Amino acid sequence: MKDKILGTLYGQAIGDAMGMPSELWPRQKVQQFFGYITKFLDGPESNIVAKNFQKGQFTDDTSQALVILDALFETDFSPNRTVIARRLIEWGEQHHAFEEEIFGPTSKAALYGIKNQQDVQQITDKAETNGAAMRISPIGLLFPTSKLAELVDYVREITIVTHSSDIALAGAATVAGAVCAAKEDFSWDEMMQYAFQAHDMGLALGAPTYSASIKARLKAGLQLAKKYEDDEEAFLQAVYDVIGSGVLLSESVPAALTIAYYSREVKQCAVLCANLGGDTDTIGAMATAVCGARTGCNAIPAELIEQIDACNAHDLQMYGAKINHYLERK
């Protein structure tokens, strides 16, 4: 189990860091500037989002996933909305996330309101962006697949701090569900079916929106993965054109799981996500977390693990050990 835990954590970090340099650039611009990304790169000075990052560094996606874990460590894995909000606000203040547009729009507005003791439900109920889904992957490790309802309720308690819409809860539940099934070595098709079940449970718990369906788009994405199984370039272009790669949950979550399903291992998945265009770091973080949960850490190339450890201050081994200790106590 420890190997699966570390596979998820390092998988998320690798996909995040690989996708960082091309973050929020159109696919054509990514191709023109980079050619084809195959390794960790510095954030280009011309990318206003990525320019302050150096090669191998992960972004707010993985950092916030670790903030959520810190909040759970503080409360012995009993989700506490006040503690989660406080931890996210503290992280945001430390990294100037409110001023420098590091937070996504929904998280920023919600946390700013909480910070100023305001009722933020009107903000969180309308959430359509992927801030909650991008930081949820490790939560899929905490439950066996036999306890899907408990997993989705747990995801809701974490997600609802900043995102309480149906699409947000569905998106976060889909990602967590995929990780949960992956760690138990479900086949890839079985993993997707389990993620669909998690999606439906999450969708029923949130405030209604008129967003496009994550589930429907993921089903379409899986068909694209099969259609273009021997043509990576055509596959990526089809995902970009048909599924989308923007910051909306209805694009980024199905794109991430589609690419995970297609690649099935961390390095190729990270490379594909980095070259997709759009919200590459977030899509990479979600997709490669699922791949890492499925393959385990020992299947990830050692040089990628070493670069993540060398380039980031967070000790992922420590986070993995704490999760493992919790699971051994359960």
The per-residue DSSP string of 209-240 comes to --PPPHHHHHHHHHHHHHHTTT-HHHHHHHII
Distances (CA, A) of 136 to 12, 34, 39, 151, 176: 10, 30, 25, 11, 6
Of 102, 120, 126, which Cα lies nearest the Cα of 53? Answer: 102
Write down the pLDDT at residue 181. Answer: 98
Residue 293 CA, distance from chain mean position: 13
Helix (H), strand (E) counts: the chain:
17, 0
Binding residues for Mg(2+): 59-61, 279, 281-282
Find the DSSP H helices in 20-104.
27-34, 60-74, 81-94
Query: What is the architecture, at CATH level 2, of domain 2-329?
Result: Orthogonal Bundle (1.10)
Residues of the chain with pLDDT under 50: none
Contacts of 253 (CB under 8 A, 6+ apart): 130, 133, 171, 174, 175, 214, 218, 286
pLDDT of residue 100: 82
CB atoms within 10 A of CB 162: 30
Given this model, what pLDDT does residue 127 score?
97
The pLDDT of residue 308: 98
pLDDT at position 330: 83
Nearest to 272 by CA among 230, 235, 224: 235
| Residue 280 structure tokens | 């590459």
Question: What pLDDT shows up at residue 133?
Answer: 98
* Nearest residue to 249 via CA among 182, 203, 193: 203
Question: How do the domains of the chain map onto residue ranges?
Answer: 2-329
- Report pLDDT for 101: 74
Where is the binding site, in residues?
59-61, 279, 281-282
